[in-house]
Chains A and B, each alone.
Chain A
Amino acid sequence: EAQVTQNPRYLITVTGKKLTVTCSQNMNHEYMSWYRQDPGLGLRQIYYSMNVEVTDKGDVPEGYKVSRKEKRNFPLILESPSPNQTSLYFCASSEAGGQGYEQYFGPGTRLTVT
């Protein structure tokens, strides 16, 4: 089954404690992205990757890092989480190219930073 998986699904942590949210897709997609969703602000892109070893900032990259060492994985790293990073996070993937390809989203990771 084609899918994007995220782990963990729920996480409560404390300020400053480094964490990683993993994302994996099994569709051999070139593009992968991370979004965060906050009430009243909608979904905003954090980082994206257009292929292995190619990453770039989205609209709200501050406080986050990513890496793309393998095509299937795109982890999101919070080196020193702060309470303002409490949010619902989604990973997504898509084929590349000029066609109107859809994005596939993961189930979400709800992060609380105290």
Chain B
Amino acid sequence: DAKTTQPPSMDCAEGRAANLPCNHSTISGNEYVYWYRQIHSQGPQYIIHGLKNNETNEMASLIITEDRKSSTLILPHATLRDTAVYYCIVKKVGSNYKLTFGKGTLLTVNP
């Protein structure tokens, strides 16, 4: 699976959009980009995933650049409960029995 690079921490004001970047310059054509988050010591929670098109669900939007070498997770209206570690993971199609977690980005949403 391709390596990912994320900033170690970010801050965001409550109610504003949180934009979390991820670099995955060695991604292959058959690899998905996944985002998970982990709120303090709870089980990781799936947020969204995409292959090459932008995706949106009730939690977030995922913007993948045209060359697929980077992506951005957008939380449109961050709340205090969105404070968590966010993990960007790249994984091959069909290998969804295992996730390789890096260090992620600690997003702190401030009042």
Report which A residues bind B (CB closer than 8 A): 4, 31, 33, 42-43, 45, 48-50, 58, 88, 90, 92, 94-108, 110
Contact = CB atoms under 8 A, between A and B. Distances in A.
A114 B36 CA distance: 32
Interface string B23-54: 00000000010101000011111100111000
B46 A42 contact: no
Nearest to B98: A45
Given A31-B97, A43-B99, A98-B93, A105 B49 contact: no
Contacts of A45: 98-100
A99 B96 CA distance: 8
Contact of A100 (B34, B41, B43, B100): B34
A42 B101 contact: yes
Given A42-B102, A42-B103, A100-B34, A94 B43 contact: no
Name the interface size band of chain B.
20 to 34
A105 B45 contact: yes
Consensus secondary structure, chain A interface:
strand
Consensus secondary structure, chain B interface:
loop
Contacts of B101: 42-43
A100 B32 contact: yes
B108 to A, nearest CB: 18
Given A97-B94, A98-B93, A98-B94, A103 B41 contact: no
Nearest to A88: B41
Which 8 pairs between the two chains have the least Cβ-Cβ distance? A105-B43, A102-B46, A31-B97, A43-B101, A100-B32, A98-B94, A101-B96, A100-B49
Interface string B61-104: 00000000000000000000000000000010110111111111
Nearest to A40: B103
Contact of A33 (B50, B98, B102): B98
Contacts of B97: 31, 33, 48-50, 94, 96
Contacts of A58: 98
Contacts of A101: 96
